[in-house]
Chain A
Amino acid sequence: MGYDILSKVIELTDSTEALEKRLKDVAYLLIHSFAFDQCAIYLLDQDKKVLTLAVAVGSKRGCQEEYREDEGLPGLAIKNGKPIFATQSKSAKELWQGGLDKGTNGFNTIVCYPIKDDWFHGVLYLKNKEKKTISIKQKRLLGVITLQLATAIKNYQCIVNLRDINTKMKDMQYRLVNAEKLLALGEMAASLAHEIKNPLVSIGGFAKRLSHQMSLDSPYMSYVDRIVKEVAKLEKLMDGIVHFSKEEGYAFSSEDINSIIEETIAFFEDDFKKNEITVIKELSLNVPKIDVDRQHLNLVFNNLMTNAIQAMEKGGRLTIQTYQEGNWIVAEIHDTGGGIDPKIMSNIFNPFYTTKETGTGLGLAITHSIITNHKGIIEVNNNIGVGVTFIIKLPLAGKEGRILEAS
């Protein structure tokens, strides 16, 4: 009989099913083969030092979701590194009456077997209402079974870790390729930027002079206005391209993020009106000043609002929030422009990637780079069919720096 159970356990634990399914199959096998009312398997979280219920079969009575590493009978089994076999008797009275484990209430036989090989993975917890004796042979068999469970759990965790490492490596590879692209872009930009900026200044400057000399009711006034505005945007873009690859180009000073956002909103006032976009400002007054490069951060909000405006050509709602969250200052920019196609989500921060006819594909690449240069984080919440939320988190690091200096 022992051999049959063991070979069945090996078969179940070696299957390709998800770990939880395998553990559940073994638990069913155990309550039937050993005639117990309840079988639970707890897994040990080494970091949090808790035992969490993975599966429970049979009666659910007194089946606790979680035990601390030093709590209850499972905790005791881990602490001693030895199984506990007990029946309601004088010698084991303290297990029931001492309040050591409420999960034993209503049961008269328990087995609490640590699942371990070279370290602990969890606990196998069997309970039965009736008193019963567990033979030496059965005890030995349970020892081998828990060892088999330990191997299965360990293998599973190795696979999870490998997958995790694999994901991280892919992510790193992606970042490296991206960094190379940005570097190449920076070099190209630097050589082009100077040639482009001078004519731009001339065009914009003369268009401004022209607009000053035209009467306000001239039909051409709107044309000239358009030139002035477009040039101003291009100048901003060029400034961004030149700056974003060069961290030394940043001039950090203590700034109020709300005022930078207000400035950008004012810049787009006409566009909001034209596209019938309602702007909702939820700017926290308690946000402390942080060390940022004002010009660059201006560009970040400029890019994000440009995207939002383009996404909401037929009107919508732009909500801008700021708040403090621990050591971060957070700004959220939420539009109702229908969201981003999930197929292109992984590309949105890539330089030169664009879906717009007139886009440069630089807006979000620059935005990402500026936030990174601020040691910040940018996240995207894409709600398909509804809209996009860009979440920018900037560290209160300047403050920490000053505290360190003071001490």
Chain B
Amino acid sequence: MKEKILVVDDEEGIRLLYKEELEDAGLNVHVAASGEEALAKLEKDKFDLIVLDIKMPGMDGIEALRRIKERWKNLPVILSTAYHHYKQEFGTWASDAYVVKSSDLKELKTTIKDILRK
């Protein structure tokens, strides 16, 4: 049985890239374009892990993270963002991991595998 993950990002290009790359890595990948859409999907479906963008219009990743961890305390969340320094600015202590976006998805894949293995 493939592990099911949800990629949340407002950028279509990122959603497409992550979906294809992570599916090639053997995962069942679903996508959401906003924090609101992600929460709606989580209500209906059960996921093993979330990859969550921080900067999104409407409900941003930090607010979505807070709500997800309130409802689904044990659901792992990886925060994904464009630049390293947002880590300091936003305080991402509540997430399980933090990955800076890159055209090289090695780090993201390794992080996902490490968390799912636990």
Interface residue stretch chosen among A34-42, A149-157, A204-212, A356-364: A204-212
Is A318 an interface residue, CB under 8 A from the partner?
no
| Number of residue pairs A-B, CB distance < 8 angstroms | 71
- Contact in complex: B84, A197 (CB < 8 Å): no
Q: Is the CB of A239 within 8 A of B84?
A: yes
A235 at the interface (CB under 8 A from B): yes
* A: number of interface residues (CB 8 Å): 28
Given contacts A201-B102, A202-B11, A209-B20, contact A251 B55 (CB under 8 A): no
Interface SS majority for chain A: helix
Residue of chain A at shortest CB distance from B85: A249
Interface residues on B, range: 10 to 19
| A115 close to chain B: CB less than 8 A | no
A206 and B17 in contact, given A228-B103, A231-B103 (Cβ under 8 angstroms)? yes
Does B41 count as interface, using CB distance less than 8 angstroms? no
Tell me what chain B mostly uses at the interface: helix, strand, loop, or mixed. Answer: loop
CA distance A232 to B105 in the complex (A): 12
Q: Mark A183-219, 1 if CB is under 8 A from B, else 0.
A: 0000000000110011111111111110000000000
State the CA gap A228–B113 with chains docked (Å): 25
Contacts of B85 in A (CB 8 A): 242-243, 246, 248-249
A205 to B103, CA, bound (A): 4
Tell me if A295 counts as interface (CB < 8 A to partner B): yes
Residue among B82, B88, B105 with max Cβ neighbours from chain A (10 Å): B82
List residues of B whose CB falls within 8 A of some A CB.
11, 13-14, 16-17, 20-21, 55, 82-85, 88-89, 101-105
**Residues on A facing B (Cβ under 8 Å):** 193-194, 197-209, 228, 231-232, 235, 238-239, 242-243, 246, 248-249, 251, 295
